[in-house]
Structure 1
């Protein structure tokens, strides 16, 4: 077969990914007719129909889908190669993260990360959904709960300690675990460790579920720091509030905390050699106090 001009592959990839010649043309700063011409030339050279056209709508054929998968893999490999040899271009990490860890733990540390790696740029997105790998939207994810996906590396980010936390002025009246039965308890609806688990660990029958309810740990932590009640949260997430004295652990010496692995660093195996992922992974593990990734 006649060697294919590589200039035809970028219009094909953009059109195949978006299923739109118009969107592809805007992305590549070409005219729609130039994108269409490039794809027709690619079809002529390969002897294969790559798109089905219906008016202004297009969709890939089975052959087009097979080619798109390989072209995207090739482009990613080229990007990784350029990434590895680049010494002056900014390294971009497109990171997805669980919201409370992003707000409470990660964001306050980014200035330290950028001081150590001034060429690294981070584009951060936070919500409860897991990043979809393989895909073009994110390079890595810090998940809440284990996210098992084929072809991905998943690194547990160590044990977290979950314990009752409250504002300092509430602490004097909480001297033993049973004292919490008289307190206003703050609930985090998306938390994997709940009050019923903590009471069970401390051999106390949990009270009826009453009190304030929030769907994010960072809101529950803020509410507890404002004196609205007692939250049950990870000391990792509440690290700043505990350090600043806005929250205290009133039962540190007389109760059993719950320990569990709450968060994982996840990325596609194909990104093992991507500089931005490698830099961030090594920094993250060091910051948490975990061994280097082997």
Structure 2
């Protein structure tokens, strides 16, 4: 690979990280605008995603496979649920806290890959996992001496587990399906899951709220496509490391724009999660959150 191709891939991965960061912060902003219909926000993301796939990958994706391949159906249903849970926890817990908890999918994904895909269970997983899980306990106040973890902390952990299972499913699907078809499965079945609740909870939306929802959907699509393309020229380790900028950016954005606050032990917990998951990502052959969200 030439130096220029490597620089281009790095730029695309940084664009992906910035887009995912912006997406979460924009969803968080919808709550401040008193428009936090997560069903509708999720639908908007799925619609834009399908539109992008149909335009950009019109020759590669196989829409009929979405109803013929059981694993695509599984990936789509779980992926749609995962997106909804992630956005819900961002609104209820705050952008930084929710994203740090969700980032533990790297640990769960590595453990599931060792079980399902028979990947080697490396010492790095144990070292990074212990650090990250200790951080998770501190961040959710299990060990911090503060308020007991609430139901949305549990949903955030569930979201991370769902993302981990989706990552493993995606790795299995890559043997027979194009990335665009795998991503389209999430969008298609996500719409089926979220469409009816979104209509039942339909509420008036201001022009500003509509604009923020549209921009958030576009940033999610840009992040997904930029990351997919970047991984053609970057190693999993290098790409995953750059994706670790996302929870940091979201936490900083939460403090700056939404006045979120972290106690000392929560900051220590967030640092342990970031350090542990980065350590695993550098040494464990798990594809970064590509198409998992």
Q: TM-score range by the shorter chain?
A: under 0.3
Larger strand percent: 1
Larger helix percent: 2
What is the TM-score when the length of structure 2 is the normalising length? 0.23
Which structure's relative contact order is higher, taking Cα pairs within 8 Å and 6+ residues apart?
2
